[in-house]
């Protein structure tokens, strides 16, 4: 059931009022094409949603998160954006409990991929081990967007010397038919290639990825402007038939 949108007011108005106002200048048709099958898409511009999220994060964000509306896709996206702009306290478990509630309402790649963790680099670094374990739990899920969240967030925050080998192991362990899982893994592999080209090539030689995900990984890496032509030539001959 849709929660009351009146529990939290921003400058005396429900958040949905701001959402619908922004929708007057949106591109609904284009957004629907980018998010096929997703219901209640308004087509709001991400910069506009970010500005709104910052305003909410500077106000009583706890009241907002306690009853954040989620009828429209962009309301779900806003929920995640707010979590990226608040100032979390030292209790990482408390913050992650908010993130978990958000992950449960993700219904599109747009909502998933626009999320970022709050806090300074120092804050994230001090809690990196816990965040890593937290994200691993989603990679092991059986739900499409939970897996995508885990894959995309580890891609954003953990492609480094300490985690690269374990990431490859995770990609091989994922067996889910969801299109947005497969594309997330392919995207992540392409990012791994940029950071660790030789290591990623060696991984691809033995990868247990299904053919679709494997070939998409090759394709997305070749499409990257951060990969030189010599590497792209090596990758082209590695495609599976």
| 141-162 pLDDT, tens digit each | 999 999 999 999 999 999 999 9
- Report whether pLDDT(7) > 90: no
Give 91: exposed, middle or buried? Use CB within 10 Å, 0-12, 13-18, 19+: exposed
Of 205, 204, 241, give the one whose Cα is nearest residue 221: 204
CA distance 206 to 170: 14
Assign 25 a pLDDT band (cuts: 50, 70, 90).
confident
- Report whether pLDDT(5) > 80: no
Q: Are 139 and 93 in contact (CB under 8 A)?
A: no
* Same domain flag for 152 and 180: yes
Mean pLDDT across the chain? 96
pTM score = 0.94
| 155: containing domain | 141-241
Evaluate whether residue 134 is within a structural domain.
no
* Same domain flag for 5 and 107: yes
* Same domain flag for 206 and 229: yes
* Same domain flag for 92 and 65: yes
- Report whether pLDDT(134) > 90: yes
Pick the last residue of a domain from 126, 160, 191: 126
* Same domain flag for 110 and 151: no
Helix (H, G, I), strand (E, B) or coil at 186: helix
Pick the last residue of a domain from 126, 151, 179: 126
Quote the number of domains for the chain.
Answer: 2
Evaluate whether residue 133 is within a structural domain.
no
- Report whether pLDDT(61) > 80: yes
Average pLDDT over residues 211-229: 98
Evaluate whether residue 157 is within a structural domain.
yes
Evaluate whether residue 82 is within a structural domain.
yes
**pLDDT at position 88, please?**
94
* Same domain flag for 59 and 119: yes
Pick the last residue of a domain from 97, 126, 155: 126
* Same domain flag for 182 and 226: yes
* Same domain flag for 153 and 122: no
* Same domain flag for 117 and 171: no
* Same domain flag for 118 and 148: no
């Amino acid at each position: 059931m849709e929660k009351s949108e009146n529990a939290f007011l921003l400058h005396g108005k429900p958040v949905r009022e701001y959402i619908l106002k922004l929708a007057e200048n949106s591109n609904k048709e284009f957004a629907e094409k980018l998010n096929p099958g997703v219901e209640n898409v308004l087509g709001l511009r991400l910069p506009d949603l970010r500005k709104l999220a910052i305003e909410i994060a500077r106000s009583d964000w706890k009241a907002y998160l306690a009853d954040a509306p989620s009828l429209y896709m962009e309301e779900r996206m806003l929920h995640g954006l707010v979590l990226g702009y608040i100032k979390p306290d030292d209790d990482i478990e408390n913050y992650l409990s908010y993130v978990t509630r958000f992950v449960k309402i993700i219904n599109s790649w747009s909502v998933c991929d626009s999320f970022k963790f709050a806090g300074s680099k120092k804050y994230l670094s001090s809690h990196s081990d816990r965040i890593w374990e937290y994200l691993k739990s989603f990679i092991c899920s059986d739900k499409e967007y939970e897996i995508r969240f885990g894959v995309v967030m580890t891609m954003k925050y953990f492609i480094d010397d300490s985690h690269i080998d374990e990431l490859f192991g995770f990609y091989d362990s994922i067996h889910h038919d969801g299109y947005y899982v497969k594309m997330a893994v392919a995207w992540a592999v392409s990012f791994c290639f940029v950071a660790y080209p030789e290591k990623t090539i060696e991984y691809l030689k033995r990868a247990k990825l299904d053919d679709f995900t494997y070939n998409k990984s090759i394709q997305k890496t070749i499409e990257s402007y951060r990969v030189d032509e010599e590497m792209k030539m090596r990758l082209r001959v590695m495609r599976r038939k």
